[in-house]
Amino acid sequence: MATLALIIGTVEIAAAKPSVPGGPDKAGATTTATAALSDGSAVDSRGDLAKLEKYWTPERMAKAIPADVPPGAPLTEGAPRKAGPTGAPGSTPAARPTVKGDRAAPRINESAAVGKVYFRNPVNGLNYMCSAAAINSASKQMVTTAGHCVNTGGSGSAGQWMQNWVYIPRYRQGARPFGTFAAKQFRSFTSWVNSSDLTRDVAMVTTWPLNNNKVVNVTGGHGLSWNFSRNQPMTIFGYPGNRDNGELQWVCQGTTRAYGLFDPRIEMQCDFGGGSSGGPWLREFNDANGLGSQNGVMSTISSGGWNQSPYFDDSVKAMWDAQGSIT
Q: Which own/partner pairs from 178-181 qualify as long-range (CB within 8 Å, at least 24 positions apart)?
A: 178/101, 178/112, 178/115, 178/210, 178/215, 178/218, 178/219, 179/210, 179/211, 179/218, 180/52, 180/53, 180/56, 180/210, 181/143, 181/207, 181/208, 181/210, 181/215
CA dist 254 and 257 (Å) reads: 10
Average pLDDT over residues 44-49: 87
Query: 29-48: string of b/e by CB count within 10 Å (b at 16+)?
Result: bbbebebbbeeeeebeeeeb
Report whether 189 contacts 151 (CB < 8 A): no
Widest pairwise Cα distance in the chain: 50
Q: What is the DSSP string of 202-243?
A: -EEEEE--BTTB-HHHHH-BBEEEES--SS-EEEEEE--TTS
pLDDT band at 100 (very low <50, low <70, confident <90, very high): confident
pLDDT in tens, 58-89: 999 999 999 864 334 344 444 445 678 889 99
pLDDT in tens, 33-44: 999 999 999 999
In sequence order, the β-bridge partners of residue 281 are 236, 296
Q: Which residues contact 45 (CB under 8 A, 6 or more apart)?
A: none
Over 50: is that where the pLDDT of 31 sits?
A: yes
Average pLDDT over residues 2-21: 35
Considering the domain 27-69+89-99+108-323 in this protein, what is its CATH number? Answer: 2.40.10.10
The domain spans of the chain are: 27-69+89-99+108-323
pLDDT in tens, 108-133: 578 999 999 999 999 999 999 999 99
